[in-house]
Structure formats: structure tokens, C-alpha cells
């Protein structure tokens, strides 16, 4: 089971939805969030932060290390937290859940008219969407590609 919540960035102009794999991490593991607008003012520390397409997440590594001790003996890094899903975007990027829901809604209308065409278009949409997100530079899309 995973939990999720929304965090607002340091400048207050944007927010991101986070997912927490297996409920291992508390939401306090995200110490600060920086959107592309405010991330240029963040002094980057690779020991506690990760970059993803202009966004920067600052993790509380003490909380992360303590919380992760029940699931791993590996070194807990920002990359491990993000890439293994213990504290990562809900979806491929911030706001992905709302974006993909809007895109899927357009396809759903086709299902009542032509179900076979709907399934074909839905499959193509998923493939093309991940290719587009990978080209845009989203970390999770490039890992999946």
C-alpha cells in the first residue's frame, strides 16, 4: 500500500503530489520542495537533494535513514528514495495524475462509440505519452524507457 500527499514549493507558486511506497516514509521526509521558478535559489546539496526537470526535492535524510532501516541495509540516498518509490512523484511528474486524467477523459468518450478503436488508441496514447515525457526530461519516464 502507498500513501500520498501534496507539498507546496518554497515560493508557494506550485505544488507536487508525492507517493510513499509501502508507507515506509512519513511525509515529513520531504523537508523542502522547489519548483522550476524557485529552484535556482536553492543551494544544491547532492547528499540530501535530487533534481528532476527543474524541480528540486530536499529530503530530511535523518528521517529517511531512520525510516528506511526497517526495509533496507543499503545506504539511503536521495536517488534511492526517489527512484525506488519511497518518496517520489505520484505519477511521472508533479501534477501528472491530473494531467493524465484529463488526457484519458478524451479517450474515454471514444469507448462508447468504438470500443476496439478505444483500446487501440489508449495503448498508443500510453506509449506516446511516456516517450514525450522522456524527451521532456522527466526522471521516471527515462528510467521506464
Over residues 29-58, mean pLDDT? 97
Side-chain-side CA neighbours of 21 within 13 Å: the count stands at 14
Domain-by-domain residue ranges, the chain? 3-89, 96-144
Cα separation of 30 and 63, whole Å? Answer: 9
Over residues 124-140, mean pLDDT? 96
Residue with cell 531512520: 66
**63/104: higher pLDDT:** 63
Whole-prediction pTM = 0.89
Residues with Cβ within 8 Å of residue 12, at least 6 apart in sequence:
none
Q: Pick from 15, 143, 20, 30: which is nearest to 87 by CA?
A: 20
pLDDT digits (tens, 9 = 90+) for 97-125: 999 999 998 889 888 899 999 999 999 99
Amino acid at each position: 500500500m502507498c500513501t500520498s500527499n501534496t507539498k507546496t514549493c518554497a515560493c508557494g507558486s506550485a505544488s507536487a503530489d508525492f507517493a510513499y511506497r509501502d508507507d515506509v516514509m512519513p511525509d515529513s521526509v520531504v523537508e523542502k520542495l522547489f519548483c522550476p521558478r524557485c529552484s535556482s535559489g536553492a543551494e544544491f546539496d547532492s547528499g540530501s537533494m535530487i533534481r528532476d526537470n527543474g524541480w528540486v526535492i530536499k529530503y530530511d535524510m535523518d528521517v529517511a535513514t531512520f525510516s528506511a532501516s526497517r526495509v533496507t541495509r543499503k545506504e539511503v540516498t536521495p536517488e534511492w528514495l526517489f527512484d525506488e518509490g519511497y518518496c517520489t512523484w505520484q505519477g511521472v511528474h508533479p501534477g501528472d495524475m491530473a494531467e493524465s486524467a484529463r488526457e484519458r477523459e478524451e479517450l474515454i468518450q471514444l469507448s462508447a462509440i468504438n470500443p476496439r478503436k478505444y483500446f487501440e488508441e489508449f495503448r498508443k496514447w500510453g506509449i506516446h505519452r511516456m516517450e514525450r515525457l522522456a524527451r521532456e526530461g522527466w526522471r521516471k519516464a527515462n528510467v521506464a524507457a
